Chains A and B, each alone.
With several copies, the nearest count.
Chain A
Amino acid sequence: MFGLFNRPELELDTSGNVPMVDICELDLVYENGHQALHQVNLQIQKGEFVFLVGTTGSGKSSLLKLLYRELRPSSGNVLVGGLDLGDLARNEVPYLRRSVGVIFQDFRLLGNKTAAENVAYALEITGTAKRKIPSRVAQVLELVGLSDKAKRLPSQLSGGEQQRVAIARSLVNQPSLLLADEPTGNLDPDSTWDIMQILSRVQNAGTTVVVATHNQQVVDLMRKRVLVMKRGHLVHDLARGAYRLDGRGSGLHVDQPSTPFSAVEL
């Protein structure tokens, strides 16, 4: 009846026998013809912690979107936990997404639900027993330091607080793969560091973590594997790497403004 109830069971292979992420000759071309990813090859093993860096528009978010099947590859293969996402049936996608926690660059909180309800929603969809939900939600909100704002709607939270709700939601299901897209862009350094510690802890518990970020300090201090993207190409893959964008080296350039101002009257 309208497929209202079908419920395929689907499990990722988290044994460690297959890579958690296995990307092979991946191309991604958007509808308007823009090619966002070129021939990306990449393997990430179970339990790894990986930073994904690159200039704005280099394709980091696009790559992550492919891993939770918001996008489909134009060519090549994307395997997560042994599942080929190109083959995934439409009604199987939700089950993939329950094993993959995502922290979105733009938060994507449900505007008519409170912080706690947003986190609880991710549990409700999995059929978690009703009585277990409140304590689990409280725990995770405590972890991100938002216990006192559990009953606020997103519109009543500051940018950084919304970001922490999004982080809490991505963690609550204890995902096998955690994808974080600029998870600390709206956080102060102390909060940033707290969140990074949490992600480390999550990794230690066996979760594979992929973090796209522009935060040089974080990448430099954490010394994890670093993937560098440039215009849709994966140009570097560094074990225990530091933040560097190809060519210009790392960090800020006080004395070299790179855009000619003279053209503009301001």
Chain B
Amino acid sequence: MMGYSGYFFREVLTNIRRSPLMSVASVTTVLVLTLILGYFTALMMNLEALAHSLLREVQVVAYLDDDANRVSVAQQLDRIPGVEEAHFVSKETALKKLVERMQGRIKVDDLTRNPLPDSYEVAVDSADSLELVAKRAQRIAGVSYVKYGEEIAQRMLRFNSLVRTVGVVILGLLFLSTVLIVSNTIRLTVFARRKEIEIMQMVGAAEWFIRWPFIMEGVLQGLVGSVVAATLVGGSYSLVVPKLMQTITFLPIVQAEDLLPMLIPALIFNGAFVGGLGSLLSVNKFLKV
């Protein structure tokens, strides 16, 4: 078959030149769907990053008795599985932070004594460890009270898994849609040429001989469409992200250089694959003897 590839390639080009409408239709379809797929993937990645960044803010705080032994508590905290790091926050630091946060609503002069306790902020390796770490920390002598923001943690966990599930489902459906619509479109272009296929069979062309130019044409159309789409996605993403980072400082945004080196080849491969597969399946439908 290698010997024929030059011939097939010329066939494909001639065919595109003589009936451009069909190629334009396939290419546009691949292009538009790849655009949707690309932008949606970028959106998903960002939501995922957002969910992840929110998760990182969840931590266990262990408040200490006034007479607790800091060092011993720290050692015991470190020994709990799932604990990454325990950071000491003195009552003075805590008060300073509180006053800062309350911006004038508390008058420090009014306080004869710091009402806040010392504490350890404990970072854990995963959200799943939260509850266990909190329970074990509670049992340590010198720890008066443990807080891990069950509610926020729950919310974050749920939000995270929601984003992930919905994202994967939508991405999967979008992918299926792309396959379906592209192969539909290609099936129509093949349908428009069914007489041709019939004639080729009549004069004795083997099935693979008929099939290859169609497959190559599908791959080519898929490639052209997805390369243009990937370029658009990549270009607009690297253009918009820096601007977005300046305005929306409160949301974590995935950098272009972290996303595109994966996304662009994936989109292009996808286009070529869907184009080729769509052609193959369609031609087979009309190859009956």
Q: Does B199 belong to the interface (CB within 8 Å)?
A: yes
Partner pick for A122 among B15, B203, B208, B211, CB 8 A cutoff: B203
Q: Which residues of A contact B212 (CB under 8 A)?
A: 4
Chain A interface mostly: loop
Q: Which residues of B contact A104 (CB under 8 A)?
A: 202
Q: Does B150 belong to the interface (CB within 8 Å)?
A: no
Interfacial residues of chain B within 201-244, with CB under 8 A of chain A in the complex? 201-209, 211-212
Q: Does A49 belong to the interface (CB within 8 Å)?
A: no
Partner pick for B18 among A97, A98, A112, CB 8 A cutoff: A112
* Chain-B contact segment, one of A87-95, A183-191, A212-220: A87-95
A104, B198: Cα distance in complex, Å? 13
Interfacial residues of chain B within 258-289, with CB under 8 A of chain A in the complex? 280, 289
A106, B14: Cα distance in complex, Å? 25
Partner pick for A91 among B19, B199, B206, CB 8 A cutoff: B206
A111, B211: Cα distance in complex, Å? 18
Between A69, A102, A121, A130, the greatest number of chain B beta carbons within 10 A of the residue's beta carbon is seen for A121
Taking the closest CB of chain B, its distance from the CB of A251, in whole angstroms, is 34
Q: Is the CB of B204 within 8 A of A5?
A: no
Q: Is the CB of A95 within 8 A of B199?
A: no
Taking the closest CB of chain A, its distance from the CB of B230, in whole angstroms, is 28
Spell out A's residues near B (CB within 8 Å). Answer: 2-7, 68-70, 90-91, 93-98, 100, 102, 104, 108-113, 121-122, 124-127, 130, 169, 173
> What are 25 of the A-B contact pairs (CB < 8 Å)?
A2-B280, A3-B208, A4-B208, A4-B211, A4-B212, A5-B1, A5-B208, A68-B202, A94-B204, A94-B207, A96-B204, A97-B203, A98-B204, A102-B203, A111-B195, A112-B14, A112-B18, A112-B19, A112-B196, A113-B14, A121-B205, A124-B7, A125-B200, A125-B203, A127-B3
**Top 9 A-B residue pairs of the complex, sorted by shortest distance between their CB atoms:** A97-B204, A98-B204, A125-B205, A94-B206, A112-B18, A4-B208, A94-B204, A90-B289, A108-B199
